[in-house]
Chains A and B, each alone.
Chain A
């Protein structure tokens, strides 16, 4: 199934779940509403046309600093062009952040028998930062969701044991959020340096 037919199949089965979709640079992306995540994921895993048995990645994005402070590229001060010239029209521009929410949880699925891929994006609000856990369907989601909890603070309902995986107990805060200062160290032993 190619990218458009994948998106059409998801839309046909769950018309009220899909809020948007696009195929940017050859990848099929579907933007879902959070309450339909578990049903759509089960459909992706069990439907014989889809058979997405491999959860490749589960991560999150924090859009709170999006577009605010463009960090120039490393070589920008030398005068070399950083991006393509604005005079060349971009026929297929990136659609932008998926929703108005602060976070978006991103899932990458791959089907080993059919060899097609799909990306699911679930916008998550900051106030109620909770989505359903996929650990019951894909065991790999267990550690990936622990990492998202550790780094972003997004909880997963139904996860068997959501605790920090990369940072240590006693670390306060969620480091990959944009409002966590990068250099703020909380050492267990030794000086703060």
Chain B
């Protein structure tokens, strides 16, 4: 739902080149994992990740995929980075569309500065004092 808000005209993820969701992992470059992943779903998620062709990136969208969110129970995976490697984490419940676009831009920045050795991009500088 929050992905739909980002993809529609008001926030428009198409202007960042991410406008076409493909429903097959074999044709995709980026895997957006949106929503809570249960332990029942975890082997399926790993299989989908393995079906993607290299180079591939993963975005953990929403706090349930980042850390498990507020579901500390028998059914939820506490963060999908325990199963598959994650490149960008977008927290929030749900994340604002501006946060999603920021995450997408961070991913673009990371890909642009990525070398074949896999070194990480320098994170963008933040102001020392956060103004409220």
Q: A residues bordering B, Cβ < 8 Å?
A: 166-168, 175, 180-191, 193
Instruction: Tell whether, in the assembled complex, residue A175 and residue B79 are in contact, meaning their CB atoms are under 8 Å apart.
Output: no
Known pairs A167-B75, A168-B39 / 18 extra A-B pairs, C-beta < 8 Å: A166-B40, A175-B74, A183-B72, A183-B73, A185-B74, A185-B75, A186-B74, A187-B39, A187-B42, A187-B77, A188-B42, A189-B42, A190-B42, A190-B77, A191-B82, A193-B68, A193-B79, A193-B82
> A167, A185, A186, A190: which contacts B83 (Cβ < 8 A)?
A190
Is the contact region of chain B dominated by helix, strand, or loop, or is it mixed?
loop
Report the bound CA distance from A182 to B78 in whole Å. Answer: 14
Which residues of chain A are near B113, meaning CB under 8 Å? none
Report the bound CA distance from A168 to B73 in whole Å. Answer: 15
Report the bound CA distance from A47 to B73 in whole Å. Answer: 44
Which of B42, B74, B77, B83 has the most chain A CB atoms closer than 10 A to its own CB?
B74
Report the bound CA distance from A180 to B75 in whole Å. Answer: 12
Which residues of chain A are near B43, meaning CB under 8 Å? 188-189
Report the bound CA distance from A180 to B39 in whole Å. Answer: 17
Q: How large is the interface on B (under 10, 10 to 19, 20 to 34, 35 or more residues)?
A: 10 to 19
Instruction: Tell whether, in the assembled complex, residue B74 and residue A188 are in contact, meaning their CB atoms are under 8 Å apart.
Output: no
Q: Chain B residue with minimal CB distance to A173?
A: B74
Q: Chain A residue with minimal CB distance to B82?
A: A190
Q: Chain A residue with minimal CB distance to B84?
A: A190
Which residues of chain A are near B42, meaning CB under 8 Å? 187-190
Which residues of chain B are near A180, meaning CB under 8 Å? 74
Which residues of chain B are near A190, meaning CB under 8 Å? 42, 77, 82-83
Report the bound CA distance from A186 to B43 in whole Å. Answer: 13
0 or 1 for each of B35-71: is its CB under 8 Å from A? (1 = yes): 0000110110010000000000000000000001000
B35 to chain A, nearest CB (A): 16
Q: Chain B residue with minimal CB distance to A168?
A: B40
Which of B72, B79, B82 has the most chain A CB atoms closer than 10 A to its own CB?
B82
Q: Chain A residue with minimal CB distance to B72?
A: A183
Supply 30 A–B pairs (Cβ within 8 Å), ascending by A: A167-B40, A168-B40, A175-B75, A180-B74, A182-B72, A182-B74, A183-B72, A183-B73, A183-B74, A184-B74, A185-B39, A185-B74, A186-B39, A186-B74, A187-B42, A187-B77, A188-B39, A188-B42, A188-B43, A189-B42, A189-B43, A189-B46, A190-B42, A190-B77, A190-B82, A190-B83, A191-B82, A193-B78, A193-B79, A193-B82
Q: Chain B residue with minimal CB distance to A193?
A: B78
Report the bound CA distance from A193 to B72 in whole Å. Answer: 10
Q: Chain B residue with minimal CB distance to A185?
A: B74
